[in-house]
Structure 1
Amino acid sequence: MNIVVTGANGFIGKNLLVFLHEAGFDSITTITRENSNDEILSKVATADFIYHLAGINRPKSDDEFKVGNTDLTALIVNHLISLDKKTPIVLSSSIQAEFDNPYGISKAAAEDLLNLYEDKTGANVYIYRLPNVFGKWCRPNYNSAVATFCHNTLNNLPIFIHNAEAELNLVYIDDVCKQFIRLLDSSIVDNGRFDITPTYKVTVGEVATLLGKFKESRNSLITEKVGSEFIRALYSTYLSYLEPSQFAYPVTQHSDERGTFVEMLKTKDSGQFSFFTAHIGVTRGGHYHHSKTEKFLVIKGKALFKFKHIVTDEFYELVVDGEESSIVETAPGWSHDVTNIGNEELVVMLWANEIFDRNNPDTINYKI
């Protein structure tokens, strides 16, 4: 199968090409603004499937909307009709096609051409009226508020918001690409107009606020719930605008005669992650908690963990080596400490189920 992608150098095109290669499609022909009409026709003639992503959305004059959106589509479908071909086509249209403005009119006209092509040839046609698409590699200061906000937030540039309550309908680039590639399944023969799911409805102010929290998290170490849905997609998009020089950032080290303690990440409802070191022979801990619990993972060295019940005096100890990848969990009401009994520095990863609160530490000294 030879797949032709128009607008291959654009935001959606760049991402789609990566997804196509990952899916095992290696016969891909690209069409960009550098190609002449003759080159476009020659490439279209070889297509077994076409993703028509090319278009104009930021012209110097309104006439360019018709040239880049309607006329280019006419060039492609008329050539296929003349060749008596019924090549399936995906059109990236826009929700603006519903409105009476030059851009929307040009997109609606392109849709009409695709529908006419379907009627004449019986080809499968897939029209997507896309809302605002966001994700990695979208150009800031062009036609995406999300891209601009991400870039400006990371680079300490101002964000201009006219109406914080204005609603945005957003779809994530990964969801667009995955649904586009799904159409290459020969068992899918539906025609017509389609929507990308999920669509996220958020306000401009909500986006700006979240981006500010992402930025502040490097100082506070407190992360938002970035593991699912819109916040996951926005966080990934935000990070994609990092310059390599911004990949790393410092965190505070707390060092004394015992070793070093470093906090790495804090969550709002699931505790925090940190690590500590202990010099040879050093014991750390010697306290209990009423409610707090911790998980310890020895990364390097050999550790002796000791436990004592603060009421019954029951005692327990165990030895953990860094090569074992064994997690040691503490229980409320048991005092505990850890001693480096190896011949090298001890390095231990630590998770606590709550963020440390200096005003309510729930950490009571109790030597074992």
Structure 2
Amino acid sequence: MAITGGYGFLGWHTACRLRALYKSEVVRLGRQDFADPARLASALADVDAVIHIAGVNRAPDNEAEAVEKGNVVLATALIDALRALERSVDVVYANSVQAELDNPYGRGKARASELLKAATSELDGQFADLLLPNLFGEHGRPGYNSFVATFAHEVAAGRVPTVTGDRDIPLLHAQDAAAALIAGLGSDTRVTVDGEPLAISEVLAFFQETHELYRERGEVPDISTKMRRNLFNTYRAAVFPDMWPISPEVHADKRGELFETVRAHGGAGMTFMSTTLPGEKRGEHYHLHKVERFFVVKGEAEIELRRLLHEEVVTFHLSGDKPSFIDMPALWVHNIRNVGDTDLVTMFWADQLLDMKNPDQFPETIASKVSE
């Protein structure tokens, strides 16, 4: 299977989901592949399905013609590569609800859909056309992917974005969009994927609430609904790794010391403790949605994190001499290792009760290398 736009926002989320739930290693195609027809055809040589996400929704100086033609050019390049295979390949198209509107982006997406459907049918493949609403999620590009990404980064930086023309916008998390695209594989259909309507001002208000509670104090806001949790994870991606670690105030007297480990304002949660022997390691997994906190109470710990399908590793050193915690961002592989000479005592908190049938925990090592 291949994903065009595989290194972009939705492409990355889709590749992550396929890796987590289906153990599928996909061919990820980017700009360089589309710039060379022979290279694109070669990359598709062994695939039986393509999720076509690559698209153009912005252009230099907001040139309308470039946006409209750009999506058609990408679709045409993919079609030429598929025809060169001389066999059937199923295609799932990440279309947009804008395709039903008369604007440059919508016209370009609509025309690309028509071309892809005709070519896939000609090659005896199945074509699924999914019209997606406004997408948001972890690691969206501010000023490009959505206003949600822009607001998250602006608020995280301590700025206050301006809301103009406040209205409800149907929003869909990128993992839900990825799930819909994957479900479309092997089908011949046209589906409009619904988002959850949310006012622009509500999104801003949530990020401002989160900034005050989370960025400034390490407190978890109310994430009792799926939308609030998804917005929270979007904000967490915007502040990682800059806000970590956090060391709460320690209250000490003749009896000993006391400090808060978690203050959550709504939703489920569970807490557990562990001791880890010197040199031993825990973790080596990632989550799609779960919020997880590592709080080092005693001993010396090294925490490593690597964004899924990337190679750069972020490392933190935490010590029980100054009790501190770090929250693991969604879609980042993480572990914790005892680098001291005594037992490491760690408190863990998660925002959801453990469900053994659906634990939202996927094994992977920090050391795994991903070729770009």
Q: TM-score normalised by the shorter chain: which range applies?
A: 0.5 to 0.7
Tell me the distance in 1 between the aligned counterparts of 2:225 and 2:151. 21
Tell me the distance in 2 between the aligned counterparts of 1:269 and 1:97. 38
Matched residue pairs, number? 271
User: Pick from 138, 141, 144: which aligns with 2:143?
Assistant: 141
Shift of 1:160: 2.0
Tell me the distance in 2 between the aligned counterparts of 1:265 and 1:52. 42
Structure 1 residues 63 and 39, CA gap change in structure 2 (3 angstroms): farther
Shift of 1:231: 0.3
Shift of 1:114: 2.2
The aligned counterpart of 1:47 is: 47
CA RMSD of aligned residues (A): 3.0
The aligned counterpart of 1:204 is: 200
1:56 is aligned to 2:53: no
Q: Deviation per CA, 1:202-252: give whole Å up to 9, x if none.
A: 001100111111111135665333143100111111101123231222322
2:254 maps to a residue whose letter is E
> 5 Å matches for 1:147-186?
147-163=149-165, 165-184=166-185
1:233 is aligned to 2:268: no
Contact kept in structure 2, 1:168 and 1:203, CA below 8 Å: yes
Shift of 1:83: 4.6
Secondary structure of the 1:265 match is coil
1:216 maps to a residue whose letter is E
1:33 is aligned to 2:31: yes
Contact kept in structure 1, 2:76 and 2:115, CA below 8 Å: yes
The aligned counterpart of 2:13 is: 15
1:259 maps to a residue whose letter is G
2:44 maps to a residue whose letter is V
2:249 maps to a residue whose letter is T
Q: Which has the higher contact order (CA 8 A, sep 6+)?
A: 2
Shift of 1:102: 1.1
Structure 1 residues 98 and 270, CA gap change in structure 2 (3 angstroms): closer
Q: Which moved more, 1:81-90 or 1:133-142?
A: 81-90
Structure 1 residues 262 and 273, CA gap change in structure 2 (3 angstroms): farther
Secondary structure of the 2:205 match is helix
User: Pick from 259, 263, 271: which aligns with 1:262?
Assistant: 259
Structure 1 residues 122 and 273, CA gap change in structure 2 (3 angstroms): closer
The aligned counterpart of 1:329 is: none
Structure 1 residues 221 and 14, CA gap change in structure 2 (3 angstroms): closer
Q: Deviation per CA, 1:12-62: give whole Å up to 9, x if none.
A: 112222222332223x32221122123223333432110111111111223
Structure with max Cα Rg = 1
TM-score normalised over the length of structure 2: 0.65
1:249 maps to a residue whose letter is I
Q: Deviation per CA, 1:157-186: give whole Å up to 9, x if none.
A: 2312113x31111111111222323345xx
The share of aligned pairs that are identical, in percent, is 26
Secondary structure of the 1:89 match is strand
Shift of 1:9: 1.6
1:98 is aligned to 2:97: no
The aligned counterpart of 2:23 is: 24
Secondary structure of the 1:170 match is strand
Secondary structure of the 1:51 match is strand
